Amino acid sequence: MVQIHDAKSPFLLPLYKVYESNNIFFCKGNIITGPNIFFLLFTYIIIIISVLPIYIITYFQIDSSFCLTVALVSLTIFFVLVLFFLTTTAFCDPGIIPKRNYVDLSLPKGRTAFTTVKINGTIIKQYWCVNCNHFKEPRSKHCYTCNNCVTKFDHHCVWIGNCVGNRNYRRFFFFILNLSILSTIICFIFIGLFIQLCIKENGSLSFQPILYTIGEYPHITLYIIYSFPSSLLLINLFVYHLQMVLQNKTTYEDIQGLYSGNNPFDEGKYINLKKFLFTPVDKM
């Protein structure tokens, strides 16, 4: 709680009500997200409209089979997982470093002011953050969209409307993983549906029956055109983040070329992965 004084009497306000940032708070400050909440809603809509029509299409246009049942059950499981990890990533403190509401006059200040710290033999500069009034921790960065410094800052993700940092990167990683699998399942369902309709309507998979099926079921063709490249892009994104995990490197560090020669945080692929999966978030 923060004490606020006025002319009559002091009163208490929760910190989240007076904290200077661009974040949006819910449930008395227990839930936090970034300022891009409309982009997050758009992401929810895209995911939902990509999945729900599948149940309608498969119900009306294809006979039930064991393979279809397995595919739809898998689709449902990963659809729920995607929504779960999206929500828990978006409405989570990514690792915000509290601002200081005072300035220590004994400390050097300004954008060029820095101190140094030695980690595994590598000297790392900690620059002064003029917005938060403190030296940035190693691997932290000030996000100007959210107006916060974030520990182990990875990137600000517009699609989830929040920063991705130390406290929610693991959830983001599993969001990308499950979204990649979900997109692949959608693609296979519609390819299988297209093949089954082609054989059912024309008895073969030759050129003419394929053209006929494309013309007769354009919505299924469009779903394949949409889901196939989406799957490839998402799988590529997951593989990229898997590489970052194995190297114990953030997206920001990779883009900026930091530690390209010697990464002081890299302890080997096995230990990096083990710590990423099992270390409590507050101790990472």
Tell me whether residue 136 is in a domain: no
Q: What does 168-225 look like in DSSP terms, one character per residue?
A: THHHHHHHHHHHHHHHHHHHHHHHHHHHHHHHHHHSS-SHHHHHHHHHH-HHHHHHHH
The CA-atom distances, in angstroms, between 262 and each of 124, 170, 222, 248, 266 are 12, 24, 47, 12, 8
Contact 276, 245 (CB under 8 A): yes
For residues 11-22, average pLDDT: 67
- 144: helix, coil or strand? coil
- What distance, in Å, lies between the first and last C-alpha atoms of the chain? 27
Write out the residue range of the structural domain in which residue 78 sits.
21-97+150-283
Tell me whether residue 11 is in a domain: no
Tell me whether residue 4 is in a domain: no
Contact 224, 194 (CB under 8 A): yes
Tell me whether residue 208 is in a domain: yes
Contact 148, 75 (CB under 8 A): no
pLDDT, tens digit (0-9, with 9 covering 90-100), for 93-105: 999 998 877 666 5
Q: What does 6-48 look like in DSSP terms, one character per residue?
A: -SS--EEE-HHHH--SS-EEETTTTEEE-S-HHHHHHHHHHHH
Tell me whether residue 130 is in a domain: no
Pairing of strands 96-97, 148-150: antiparallel
Contact 146, 22 (CB under 8 A): yes
Tell me whether residue 89 is in a domain: yes
Pairing of strands 24-26, 31-33: antiparallel
pLDDT of residue 69: 83
Angle between helices 269-278 and 218-247 (to 10 degrees): 110
Q: How many structural domains compose the chain?
A: 1
Q: Over 50: is that where the pLDDT of 4 sits?
A: no
- Whole-number Å distance between alpha carbons of 56 and 149: 46
Name which residue leads in pLDDT, 122 or 266: 266
Q: Over 80: is that where the pLDDT of 1 sits?
A: no
Per-residue tokens: 81: 């997982």
pLDDT, tens digit (0-9, with 9 covering 90-100), for 31-67: 899 998 999 999 999 999 999 989 888 877 666 677 7
pLDDT, tens digit (0-9, with 9 covering 90-100), for 124-149: 989 999 888 888 999 999 999 999 99
Contact 165, 150 (CB under 8 A): yes
- Residues 267, 269, 270, 276, Cα dihedral to 10°: 80
- Whole-number Å distance between alpha carbons of 170 and 35: 21
Tell me whether residue 216 is in a domain: yes
Name which residue leads in pLDDT, 190 or 4: 190
pLDDT category, 283, cuts 50, 70, 90? Answer: low
